[in-house]
Amino acid sequence: MVHQIDQLVHDLDLASKSSNSKGRPIQRKFFIKNSSGMEIPITSWKFNEWDYEKQHKIKLLSLARGLFTMKCEDGHYRVVCRGYDKFFAVDETSMTKWSKICEDTVGPYEVSLKENGCILLISGLNDGTLVVCSKHSVGNRDDLTRNHATSGEKFLRAQLDNDENLLRELALTLYHNNYTAVAEYCDDSFEEHILEYDGNNAGLYLHGLNHNVENFVTESLDKVDEFADKWGFKKVRHFSEPALSGLLEFFEKCKLTGSFEGKEIEGFVIRCHYKDTNSPFLFKYKFEEPYLMYRQWREATKDYIKSGNKVRPFKFPKHKFITNKYLDFVCPILDKDCELCERYLQNFGIIKLRKLFLESYGMSGIEVLNLGKVEELNKQNAIDRGLIDKKTKFLIVPVSVIGSGKTLIANILTILFSDTWGHIQNDDIRGKDKSKLIQKSLELLQTKKCVIVDRNNHQFLHRKQIFDWISEFKEDYLPYDTNIQVIAAPFIDRDVISEVAKQNVERIIERGDNHQTIKLSKGGVKKIRGIMNSFVKSFQPLNTSVLPDCQFDYVIKGINVLQTNPSLENSKIIVGKIHERYPILIPNIPTDEEFGKAFKTCLSVRNKRAELGQNEGVQNDKGKVGKKKLSPVYFSANIEDTAQVCTAIYRLLRTSNLNDNDVIHKLFTNGKLKTPFHVTLSHVSGSKKGSDLEKKIWLHYNEVYKDAIVHASLSGKTKPVIQSQDYLSIELKKLLWDDKIATILVNIVNDKCVSHENSDGNNFLEKGLNCCNKYPHITVGILTEGVAPYYSNTLAMQYYSNTSKTDIECLEFPDPLPTIRAKVVINF
C-alpha cells in the first residue's frame, strides 16, 4: 500500500511538469499547523474538469476529485484526504446513459438525497490534528474572500462544542481507520446556494466515508449513518432499490414536483457496482426544474446589480416571462437598498428575495416546484399581442421582387416620419450572418417606433427566417413586455408577376447603375433578365392560411406596382392602410404636398448616392470611381472657449496647497495642455464591444446626424471634423491627476441631453444623446509621454472604486461649479 502511494505521488509530480496539457495534473502546496504548532506541507492534486469528462479517452493518474497527499517522517507518502471519483449525472456522458448504466452495473442501488452546499473533506494526522479541506484547498489563504475549508472547520468545532479532546479523538479515529469523511457544508449564514438551509437545517451533512487509498473505496451508507450519529453530523436520507426499473419509475414520479416527501431537493446520488469488477460506481440524477429557473433568477439579479447603470438583462434561456416578472418585482427593491445589492453579490439574501417574489404571487417555494405551475405563470405573463399601446413597436416586411420600388418607398416613409420610422436594407448587410438584418432592425427599434425591413422576402423560407430571428434576438434589444406587430407589405401576387417582372426589368435598365447591387454596366441587360427570371421562378406569394405567413399581424392590401408613378402612389396606400389599422403609429396622414416633397427629396438623395457610390471603388454611371463613404469614429462635446477652462483651473490651483514645483503646475506653465478640450460622448468602439446602452446611444447619434455624415462623405475630405449646431452645458467638478495624466471630471447639465434644433428651427432636448462614459471627463494633459487619452477613463474608475492606488491627486472645484458651453462635433 505504501509503495503504491509513493508511486502515485511520483507519477503525479512527473506528469505535472509535462508539456502535454491533456490529462496533466495541477499541484498546489498548502500548509496547516499540527498540534505542536509546526507548519505541515500538504499537496493538492487536481485535473481540469474537461479531463474528467474525457476520461474514457485520456488516461488520468487519479479520478479522485479532491486528493491531498503529504510526506511522512519516514520519507514515504500518504493520502491525507480523498474525495469521490468524479461522477456524472444521467445522460451527461456516454458512461451515464441509462442503457449503459443498465448494461454495466448491478444493484442494490443505494439512493441518497443530493444536498445543496459545498463539499468538505475531513481527516486527521497521527498527532490528532484535524484536517478539513474543500475539494482543492486547505488552510488559511489570503487570495480568497470566502474560505470554505476554514469556515467548515469552524462549524465542525462548534458541532463538537469546541471540545479539544473530542476533536482530537475524531481526528485520530479518522487517521487510524484511514478514512476521509465527506460532508456537504450547508449553511445560509455562510453562503447561500439554491436550496434553503437556515436554523436547524444548517449543518454538515455526512454522506461518505472514503478510504485514503489509490483506488476508490467507500463505506456503505448505513456505516456512514453510524459515524454521523456518533460525531454529531447531520445524516443524509437514503434508501435502497434492488432494480433499475423501479428506480427509474421512482425518479419520474419525483420529477413531477422536484421534491421528495415534501422536501425541496436538487436530485439524488446513486451508489452501485460494476458487474465485471464489483468496484463502486456512482452517478447523479438531477432535477432540471425549478433549479434552472432559480439559478436564472439569481444570475439575472447579479447581472442587474453589476451593470452599474442598472441595465436590465434581456435574454434568458428559458422561462422568459416569469423571469422578467421576477425582475419587475426585485429591481425596485434593489434600487433602494445598496447594502442588499452588496450582500447579494456575496451570495446573501438570494433565497429571501426569491421567496418574497413567490409570496407576492401567493405561492410557497414548494408550490412553484410543480412544473405545471411554472408553465401557468409563463402563460399568465405572456405578451398580449392584441394590445396596441404606446409601447408597441412595428416591423414592415415587404414581399417583392427587385425593381418594385420598395427601397424608394421606404425612403419616402422615413422622411415623412423621420422621428419615429427607420429603414434597414438587406443590401447593407455584409458577411455570412444574414440574421444581422433583423438584429439591426431590432436595434433601430430601440429609438424608433417602426422599422421597414428592406428585403424581397419572396419565398416562404425568407419569411420564416424573419419570424425565427425575431424570436431569437428580440430580447437582446428590447424589453420583454414590448409587443412587436409584424406587418406584411405584398407588392405583387402570382396573377401579375410576369407583367411586373417585365416592367421591372425595363425600370432597372432605365436606372442604369443607380442601384445598390445590380449594375447595368457590369452584367448588361442579359444578366438583369436572368436575375429577374430567377425571382419569378422561385416566387412564393403570401398565403396567410399557412405557416409562416399566418404569423403576420396585418397584411397591407392594395399595393399596385403597375400604376403610373407607383412609388409615390403606393406610399400613400401604405400610409392610409396603416393609419386605418394602427392610428397610434400614424395619427395623421401627410398632405399630398408633403408626400410630393418627400418623393423629390428621395430622388435627389438617390442621385447623390449614385455620385458617391455605396463603397470605395464602386463605379457610378459615368464610369468614375465614387468617393468613399465615411463613418464617424466618435462624437464629442468640444469646449467653445478654452480660456474659460484654463481660467477655472488657474483659480483652483491658486487656492490649493500645491507648491509651484508640483507636476500639475508644470503641466499648465509649460504649455502642455491637450487642447482643444472636449468630452467624448460616444465612440465607435462602444458600438462593437460596449453594453446594450452604449450601442443604443451610438446608433441614435448616427441617426440624428445622418445628413451631416452624408455631406461629409461628399466633401471629399479623408478625415473631416463636422461641427453641428447643437450644444450642451457642462459643469467642472473635480481635477484629477497621477503621474501619467490630468483630467477634469464633469457633470453634463440637462440630464445628459443635447440641445438639438429640429426641422422647425426650435431647440429641444434630444433624449438619448447621452454620454457613454460612466464618468464624463475632459483630458487636460498628458504627463507621461506615450500615455493614451483613454487612460482618463481608467483614472476616474480607480478614483471612484476606492482602489489601493494611492498616487491619485484630486482638487474639487468650489460651488457654484464653473459651467462651460460645448458644441457637439462629429469626428471621422
**Where in the sequence numbering do the catalytic residues fall?**
114
User: Grid coordinates standing for 626?
Assistant: 465614387
Cβ-Cβ contacts under 8 Å for 104 (sequence gap 6 or more): 95, 274, 275, 276, 281
User: Grid coordinates standing for 827?
Assistant: 469626428
- Is omega for the bond preceding 789 within 30 degrees of 0, making it cis? no
How far is it, in rounded angstroms, from Cα 187 to Cα 204?
8
User: Grid coordinates standing for 413?
Assistant: 416613409
Cα–Cα distance list, 462 to 102, 468, 554, 559, 714 (Å): 46, 10, 18, 20, 35
How far is it, in rounded angstroms, from Cα 205 to Cα 212?
20
Cβ-Cβ contacts under 8 Å for 698 (sequence gap 6 or more): 682, 683, 684, 686, 687, 690, 772
How far is it, in rounded angstroms, from Cα 423 to Cα 403?
17
Contact, 424 vs 407, CB < 8 A? no
Contact, 696 vs 443, CB < 8 A? yes
Cβ-Cβ contacts under 8 Å for 823 (sequence gap 6 or more): 637, 638, 640, 723, 724, 726, 727
Dihedral angle, C-alpha 386, 388, 392, 394, nearest 10 °: 80
Place of cell 412553484: 368
How far is it, in rounded angstroms, from Cα 209 to Cα 219?
5
Strand extents, DSSP E, 587-737? 634-639, 678-683, 721-737
Cα–Cα distance list, 175 to 66, 128, 213, 443, 771 (Å): 17, 8, 12, 64, 64
Element (H, E) at 409: helix 406-416
Helix (H, G, I), strand (E, B) or coil at 333: helix
The amino acid sitting at 145 is T
How far is it, in rounded angstroms, from Cα 650 to Cα 664?
11
Cβ-Cβ contacts under 8 Å for 561 (sequence gap 6 or more): 404, 405, 491, 492, 500, 503, 504, 570
Contact, 52 vs 145, CB < 8 A? no
- Is omega for the bond preceding 816 within 30 degrees of 0, making it cis? yes
Helix intervals (H) in 285-349: 291-306, 320-335, 338-345
Residues 537, 543, 548, 554, CA torsion sign: positive
Report which of 120, 430, 436, 105 is spatially closest to residue 272, judged by C-alpha positions. 105
How far is it, in rounded angstroms, from Cα 685 to Cα 671?
31
Report which of 223, 603, 197 is spatially closest to residue 415, judged by C-alpha positions. 603
The amino acid sitting at 793 is N
The neighbour count for residue 443, using CB atoms within 10 Å, is: 24
User: Grid coordinates standing for 474?
Assistant: 428580440
**CA angle, corner 177, sides to 172 and 181, nearest 5?**
80
- Is omega for the bond preceding 587 within 30 degrees of 0, making it cis? no
How far is it, in rounded angstroms, from Cα 271 to Cα 219?
11
Contact, 307 vs 290, CB < 8 A? no
How far is it, in rounded angstroms, from Cα 183 to Cα 262?
23
User: Grid coordinates standing for 794?
Assistant: 481608467
Dihedral angle, C-alpha 346, 348, 354, 357, nearest 10 °: -100
Torsion angles phi and psi, residue 243, rounded to 5: -130, 155
